[in-house]
Structure 1
Amino acid sequence: MNLIIQNIELILLFFGIALLYSSVGFGGGSSYLAILTLFGIEFRTLRAISLLCNITVVSNGSFQFYRQGFLKFKKVVPLVLFSIPMAYFGGRIPIQEEIFFIILGFALLLAALLMWIQKSLQMSSVSMNTETWWFNGLIGGSIGFLSGLVGIGGGIFLSPVLYLLKWDEAKVISATASFFILVNSISGLAGQASSPEFQIDLLLALTLMASVALGGLIGTYVGTKRFKAVTVRRATAILVAYVGVRILIKYIG
C-alpha cells in the first residue's frame, strides 16, 4: 500500500498513457520512458519497466486485431523475423548512462516528429514494392535494433514508415504495429535480462503493469470512440519531444 501511495502520480500517468496509446494500437513505450526519466527512475530499470508495460498493453490489442482478421502474417513475418534478433541484440548491449540518455533523447525527438506528421504521411504519394522479404526485413531489423537499445517496442517508428510506403490499409498497419511492439518488447526484454548489468524494481514494475493493464483494456474497448487518433498522437508527440529536449540539454548542453 505504501508503494502505491508513494507512486500514485506515476501510476495515474501510466494508466492515462496506456488508455490513450491503446486506443490507436500502440503500447506507450516512448511515453513510459519519458515519464520514468522525469521521475528520476534509475536508468538501468527504465528500459525493463517500459518493455514490461508495453507487453501488458499490446498483448490484448494484438489479440483483438487477430480476432478481427487484420493481422496479415504473410506480410508481418518478414518484419518480425529480422526485428526479433535485432531487438534482442540491442537490449543486450551494455551501455553507459550518458550514452543511453543521448540516444534516448534523439530517439524521442524522432518519435515525436513521426507521430506529429503521421497524418501527412498517410496522404503521401510514395509508391514502392513493399512485398519483398529483404525490404521488410531491413525495415524491421533497423527499427528492432533501436527499439531494443532504448527500451521501446518500435511501433511509433514503424507505423509512420508503413503509412509513408502505402504498405496496407490503416487497420492492418495498426495491427502490424501492435504485434511488432509485442514481439520486439519480449525480445528486447530477453536481451536485457541476459546482460550482467540487468536490474529491475520488481514491485514497482508489477504495480505499473497493473495500472497499464487496466488503462489498456479501457482504451482498446472504449477509447477509440472518445479520442481522435491524430489528437492522441500529437498530444503525446509534444510530451515526448519535451522530454527528449530536456534529456539532450542535460547530457549534451
Structure 2
Amino acid sequence: METLWLFMAFFVVALLYASAGFGGGSSYLAVLALAGLPAGIIRPIALICNLVVTGGGSYAFARAGVTPWRRALPLVAASMPAAFLGGRQALPREQYLLLLGGLLLLAGILMVFRPAPRDTARAGGAAAGAVAVGIGGVVGFVSGVLGIGGGIFLSPILFLTRWAHARAIAATTSLFIVLNSAAGLAGQFSVGIDLDLSLTAVLVLAVLVGGWLGTRLTLERFPPHVIQKVAAALILLVGLRLVWTNWPT
C-alpha cells in the first residue's frame, strides 16, 4: 500500500513539475521524508528521478528548438563541478529538511513577485557571461548539498532578470537540472550511499510517465503565465510543508 501511494505521489509531482521545466526533486524529498525513509536513501532517489524527468524533458525541448544553448551552457559549465562538491556534503536530517524548506519559500516568494518574462531574451556579453558563471556555481553547490537539481532556485533568478521567455527558461531549467542531478549523484556515490533498488525502479517508472505528460503540456497546451503560476505554487507549498514539519520545538 505504501509503495502504491508513493507511486501515485511521484507521478503527480513529475507531471506538475515537468510542466514548469522542473524535475520535482524537492517534492520527492518531501514525500520520501513524510514516508519515514532513512535520510541516506532519500537524496539519491530524488536525484535519479530528477534525471529521468528532466532528461526526457530536455530532449523534447531541444527537439522543439526551445533551448537557448549559447546562454545556457555557461550556467551549466559552472554549476556541475560545484554540484559534485555539494553532493559530497551531508547535513543532519532535520537541519537538512529545514534548510531546504526555507530556501524553497524564498524561491517561491521571489517567483510570485517577479516581473513578467519578455518574449525575447536580453543580449549577452562578457559581463552577462560572468554573472551566469557565478549564479551557476552558487546554485550548483547549494543544490548538490540538498540533493536536488537546482532548477527551483535557478528559475526565479532567470524570471526576475527577464533572462528569456517562459518556455526558454523552462528548457534551460530542465537542462540545468539533469546535468546537476548527475553531478550531485556522482558526488554522493564518491562518498558512499545506500540505494533501495526495487523502490527506486517503481518510482522511476512513475516519474517517467508523469514527466513525459508534463513536458507535452508545456510544449503544446500551457501558455507562459500558467507555467509561471504552477511553478510558484508548487515551490511555496513544498517549502511551507517542510518548514512546518521540521521546525524545532
Identify the TM-score tier after normalising by the shorter chain: 0.7 to 0.9
What secondary structure sits across from 1:166 in the alignment?
coil
1:122 to 96, 107, 116: 116
Map of 2:34 onto structure 1? 38
Map of 1:17 onto structure 2? 13
What secondary structure sits across from 2:84 in the alignment?
helix
2:205 aligned with 1:207? no
1:181 to 165, 172, 177: 177
d(CA) in 2 for partners of 1:98, 1:242: 15
Is 83-92 or 95-104 further displaced after alignment? 95-104
Map of 2:240 onto structure 1? 242
Structure 1 position 17, deviation (Å): 0.7
1:165 to 155, 161, 165: 161
Q: C-alpha deviations, 1:82-105, integer Å up to 9, x for none?
A: 100000000011333343233223
Q: Is the 8 A contact 1:105 1:247 kept in 2?
A: no
Q: When the two structures are aligned, how many residues end up with a matched partner?
A: 242
What TM-score do the two structures reach when normalised by structure 1?
A: 0.87
d(CA) in 1 for partners of 2:88, 2:69: 27
Q: C-alpha deviations, 1:215-250, integer Å up to 9, x for none?
A: 11122224662793244224423431332222441x
d(CA) in 1 for partners of 2:29, 2:244: 13
Output the aligned Cα RMSD.
Answer: 2.3
Structure 1 position 204, deviation (Å): 0.9
Against the structure 1 CA distance between its residues 23 and 101, is the aligned structure 2 distance closer, same or farther, given a 3 Å change threshold?
Answer: closer
2:227 to 223, 226, 229: 229
Kindly provide the amino acid, as one letter, of the partner of residue 233 in structure 1.
Answer: A
Is 138-147 or 164-173 further displaced after alignment? 164-173
Q: C-alpha deviations, 1:150-199, integer Å up to 9, x for none?
A: 01111111111011112122222111111000100000011011113x11
Map of 2:107 onto structure 1? 111
Map of 2:125 onto structure 1? 131
Structure 1 position 21, deviation (Å): 1.1
Q: Is the 8 A contact 1:116 1:234 kept in 2?
A: yes
Structure 1 position 122, deviation (Å): 2.5
d(CA) in 1 for partners of 2:148, 2:50: 8
What secondary structure sits across from 1:112 in the alignment?
helix
Q: Is the 8 A contact 1:112 1:240 kept in 2?
A: no
d(CA) in 2 for partners of 1:72, 1:129: 12
d(CA) in 1 for partners of 2:12, 2:161: 31
Q: Is the 8 A contact 1:115 1:237 kept in 2?
A: no
What secondary structure sits across from 2:163 in the alignment?
coil
What TM-score do the two structures reach when normalised by structure 2?
A: 0.88
Against the structure 1 CA distance between its residues 171 and 225, is the aligned structure 2 distance closer, same or farther, given a 3 Å change threshold?
Answer: closer
Q: Percent identity?
A: 41
1:47 to 43, 46, 50: 43
d(CA) in 1 for partners of 2:99, 2:188: 17
- What stretches of structure 2 of length at least 5 have no aligned partner? none
Q: Is the 8 A contact 2:149 2:176 kept in 1?
A: yes
1:193 to 189, 192, 198: 189
Alignment of 1:133-152 (within 5 A): 133-152=129-148
d(CA) in 2 for partners of 1:135, 1:75: 11
Against the structure 1 CA distance between its residues 74 and 229, is the aligned structure 2 distance closer, same or farther, given a 3 Å change threshold?
Answer: closer
Kindly provide the amino acid, as one letter, of the partner of residue 107 in structure 2.
Answer: A
